[in-house]
């Protein structure tokens, strides 16, 4: 498993590979993980590492992380990593770590190669390994799209770089024996952009999910006595709380929701000053709290101490994906207030599981009505869900890993060139 983002690194990007690694042994596959060193990690969550088998083989190599430079050098490092190096700053790690990968594969007991992005350099390592070991089955897992990533619509690469990365992406799509997309929409996008590759025969959909054991360890929690709306995760780019805070501010200003009965919490790697300023602009001083990044386990505990969970995702292209936190949201048995594209993947999942209210992210009136409805249901003690538990169970990490193991089982018997 080539996964640059892996515990004890924290954040949403590590969850998918970490949970696959945790549950693959139950289906007959022993992971050997190649990742970065655990030194100088920005977001750290050692509980994620403790969740893995103690005897799991993890090979760690120096990260060459330019964004970790101190002081003013950090800005220079970030510019080089994000704007100069292609496809990403982790290419420096990949070029050195590939030697470790080849040496480990050379011992003869590796039967499948799995690479995951982001970073896309993980897949370039897969290309390099496949050239040396063409008989080794390779799965390339796309947590997010590459050249069609919605965030590139806001800040597109120069044309010359976009062409170069398109060639890299196509080489991965052509060469990998099997491909995995995170959402059905993402799979359709890959297929429509590369119809000649007939990806429908080689690309599977395995979404993110939730780990039932995380909820068992967190235990049952009682929600707070104020109407508490919680957002967990990161805020950046187009993913902002502005529309939600404007709607909440109008409801408080008009007395529709009494100030003293409302609490809004943002938890995660968040620039708290910008959120506090947005809260002040909307008259929500004392209502909005920003809590720092915390362990995954503690974060789930805070979800369970909430009445409503807030999901934010908007902008052109965001209908293609759902964030990893959504699957944990649907497991909490707390209503979701989703500010997302009405016809997107996230909206479809929430409606399918019957776990919340979808308000189009660009419709201020709908957001206001959705928040007011949930408050009224809480005030009248009827804030209850009737979720489809059968559908929800399909998204357990164990069930999703079983699907991955099934793909690997099939590949192990393939006659590859």
Question: What confidence score (pLDDT) does residue 220 get?
Answer: 58
Q: Across all residues in the chain, what is the average pLDDT? A: 91
91 with 217, same domain: the answer is no
Question: What value does the mean pLDDT take over residues 283-290?
Answer: 94
CA–CA separation, 275 and 60 (whole Å): 36
What are the backbone angles phi and psi of residue 69, rounded to the nearest 5°? -65, 150
Residue 222 has pLDDT above 80, yes or no: no
Question: What confidence score (pLDDT) does residue 151 get?
Answer: 77
Residue 1 lies in a domain: no
- The Cβ of residue 271 has, within 10 Å, a number of other Cβ atoms equal to 12
Question: What confidence score (pLDDT) does residue 332 get?
Answer: 94
**Residue labelled with tokens 């009445």:** 307
401 with 386, same domain: the answer is no
Residue 408 has pLDDT above 50, yes or no: yes
pLDDT tens, 163-201?
A: 999 999 999 999 999 999 998 889 999 999 999 999 998
CATH number for 335: 3.40.50.2000
Residue 18 has pLDDT above 70, yes or no: yes
68 with 180, same domain: the answer is yes
CA–CA separation, 375 and 227 (whole Å): 7
Question: What confidence score (pLDDT) does residue 213 get?
Answer: 92
Question: What confidence score (pLDDT) does residue 321 get?
Answer: 67
348 with 205, same domain: the answer is no
Residue 306 lies in a domain: yes
Closest to 214 (Cα-Cα) out of 318, 282, 302, 122: 302
191 with 325, same domain: the answer is no
Residue 408 lies in a domain: yes
324 with 371, same domain: the answer is yes
386 with 402, same domain: the answer is no
C-alpha neighbours within 13 Å on the C-beta side of residue 340? 26
172 with 232, same domain: the answer is no
Looking at the structure of the chain, the number of domains it has is 2
Question: What confidence score (pLDDT) does residue 313 get?
Answer: 85
88 with 229, same domain: the answer is no
Question: What confidence score (pLDDT) does residue 416 get?
Answer: 43
Residue 6 lies in a domain: no
| Beta strand pairing call for 356-360 and 336-340 | parallel
Residue 417 has pLDDT above 70, yes or no: no
Question: What value does the mean pLDDT take over residues 334-339?
Answer: 96
290 has which bridge partners?
A: 266
142 has which bridge partners?
A: 117, 181
Domain range for 201 is 12-209+397-412
CB-based contact 102:136 (threshold 8 Å): no
Residue 2 lies in a domain: no
Question: What value does the mean pLDDT take over residues 300-316?
Answer: 89
Closest to 11 (Cα-Cα) out of 236, 185, 182, 199: 236
pLDDT tens, 353-397?
A: 999 999 988 899 999 999 999 999 999 999 989 999 999 999 999
29 with 135, same domain: the answer is yes
Question: What confidence score (pLDDT) does residue 254 get?
Answer: 96
Banded pLDDT at 414 (limits 50, 70, 90): low
CB-based contact 195:309 (threshold 8 Å): no
CA–CA separation, 143 and 138 (whole Å): 16
Banded pLDDT at 92 (limits 50, 70, 90): very high
308 with 193, same domain: the answer is no
Share of the chain above pLDDT 70, in %: 95
Residue 370 lies in a domain: yes
Residue 7 lies in a domain: no
Residue 404 lies in a domain: yes
Question: What confidence score (pLDDT) does residue 410 get?
Answer: 92
279 with 190, same domain: the answer is no
Which residues neighbour 394 within 8 Å (Cβ) at sequence distance 6 or greater? none
3-state secondary structure of 29: coil
Q: Give the Cα-Cα-Cα angle 190, 193, 198 (nearest 5 degrees).
A: 70
Question: What confidence score (pLDDT) does residue 270 get?
Answer: 85
């Amino acid at each position: 498993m080539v996964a640059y983002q892996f515990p004890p690194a924290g954040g949403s990007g590590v969850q998918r590979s970490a949970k696959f690694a945790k549950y693959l042994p139950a289906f007959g596959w022993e992971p050997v993980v190649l990742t970065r060193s655990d030194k100088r990690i920005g977001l750290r969550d050692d509980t994620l590492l403790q969740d893995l088998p103690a005897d799991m083989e993890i090979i760690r190599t120096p990260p060459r992380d330019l964004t970790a430079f101190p002081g003013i050098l950090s800005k220079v490092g970030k510019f080089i990593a994000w704007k100069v190096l292609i496809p990403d700053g982790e290419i420096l790690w990949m070029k050195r770590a590939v030697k470790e990968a080849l040496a480990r594969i050379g011992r003869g007991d590796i039967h499948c190669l799995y690479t995951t992005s982001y970073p896309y350099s993980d897949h370039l390592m897969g290309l390099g390994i496949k050239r040396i070991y063409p008989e080794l089955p390779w799965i390339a897992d796309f947590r997010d799209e590459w050249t069609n990533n919605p965030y590139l619509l806001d800040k597109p690469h120069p044309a010359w770089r976009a062409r170069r990365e398109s060639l890299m992406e196509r080489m991965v799509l052509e060469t990998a024996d099997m491909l995995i997309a995170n959402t059905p929409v993402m799979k359709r996008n890959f297929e429509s952009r590369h119809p000649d590759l007939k990806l429908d025969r080689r690309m599977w959909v395995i979404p993110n999910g939730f780990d039932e054991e995380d909820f068992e360890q967190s235990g049952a929690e009682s929600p707070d006595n104020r109407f508490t709306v919680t957002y967990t995760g990161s805020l950046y780019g187009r993913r902002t709380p502005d529309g939600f805070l404007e709607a909440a501010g109008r409801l408080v200003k008009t007395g529709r929701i009494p100030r003293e009965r409302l609490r809004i919490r943002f938890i995660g790697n968040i620039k708290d000053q910008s959120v506090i300023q947005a809260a002040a602009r909307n008259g929500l001083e004392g209502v909005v709290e920003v809590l720092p990044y915390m362990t995954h386990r503690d974060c789930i505990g805070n979800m369970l101490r909430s009445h409503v969970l807030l999901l934010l995702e908007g902008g052109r292209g965001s209908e293609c994906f759902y964030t990893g936190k959504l699957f944990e949201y649907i497991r909490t048995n707390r209503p979701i207030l989703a500010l997302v594209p009405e016809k997107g993947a996230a909206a479809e999942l929430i409606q399918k599981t019957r776990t919340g209210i979808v308000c189009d992210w660009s419709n201020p009136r709908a957001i206001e009505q959705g928040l007011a409805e949930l408050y009224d249901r809480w005030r009248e003690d009827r804030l209850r869900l009737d979720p489809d538990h059968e559908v929800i169970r399909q998204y357990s990490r164990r069930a999703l890993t079983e699907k991955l193991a099934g793909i690997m089982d099939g590949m192990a018997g393939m006659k590859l060139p």
